Amino acid sequence: MRNAIRTVALALFLVLAGRADGNAQAQPWWWGFTYQTSLTTGEMKDFVDDFSWRNVGVEGRSKIGPNATLGVFFGWNVFSDEVDGTISFDGLDVSGYQSRWVNAFPMLVTGHYYLGERGGPRTYIGLGAGTYWIRNRLALGQTAVTIDHWHFGLAPEVGVLIPTQAYSDTYVSVKYNYAVKSGDMQRSYWTFGIGFATPY
């Protein structure tokens, strides 16, 4: 946890320090909040096969040019599944009603590039890099096992920023979250977000 806090703090410092260009007028930050749905893929889908409605994200982006931003993203994705069957290992088979959950917390430094003109809808592409703290929990019978891991992760993203009101924008995004294998666990999932933001 300490390493993650240091990473995030360093990222924030770099982003903010990069904005201290001596100009008396501070460069604006763009703040957004998204509600997301998400879908598990790959090895994660073998553990939890879920399309989740329980996801949120908060992010800030700072302009580093007319068409680019650098920022940070924090999210919380919750997945659950219930399985009634047999799981097998080498020499061991276990049957029973299983409840499975994954709670994923992405903490990313992000960069985005925007197409189009200010004042109108703008498509953007971006990439996030950072850490995911992921809690995996399995309950079987009267026993539950919880395994937590930190993962390095990448999150490419595409979206559209739509100015909707004088003081806010709406944006939609599709992001692929890839958390590199850690502790013999690899996790990946899609998120589909709709959000509200301060105007860009």
Partner 1 sequence: MRIKGVAGLRGSVRGLGVLAGLGILLAGAACYPGDGPSNVQDLDVVLTLYDTDVDFSSFRTFAMPDSVVHIGSEQSEDLIDLPRTYDDLILELAAENMASAGFIREPDPEAAGADLILLVGALGSSKEYWVYQDWWYYWGWYPGWGYPGYPGYGPGWGWYYPPYVGTVKFESGSIVLTLVDPNLADGEDIPVVWTGVSRGLLEGGGAQGRISYAINQMFTQSPYLGR
Footprint of partner 1 on 152-171 (CB under 8 A): 163, 166-168
- Residue 17 is a binding residue for partner 1 (CB under 8 A): no
- Residue 37 is a binding residue for partner 1 (CB under 8 A): no
Q: Could you tell me the two tokens for 152?
A: 């390095």
Contact assessment for residue 31 and residue 182, using Cβ atoms and an 8 Å cutoff: no
Residue 13 or 97 having the CB closest to partner 1: 97
Of 9, 10, 18, 33, the residue at the interface with partner 1 (CB under 8 A) is 33
Q: Could you tell me the two tokens for 182?
A: 């850690």
- Residue 91 is a binding residue for partner 1 (CB under 8 A): yes
In the complex, least distance from residue 15 CB atom to partner 1, rounded to whole angstroms: 18
Residue 115 or 194 having the CB closest to partner 1: 194
CB half-sphere exposure, 159, CA atoms < 13 A: 27
- Residue 90 is a binding residue for partner 1 (CB under 8 A): yes
Identity (one letter) of the amino acid at 162?
I
CA distances from 157 to 26, 37, 81 (A): 27, 14, 26
In the complex, least distance from residue 64 CB atom to partner 1, rounded to whole angstroms: 20
Contact assessment for residue 135 and residue 103, using Cβ atoms and an 8 Å cutoff: yes
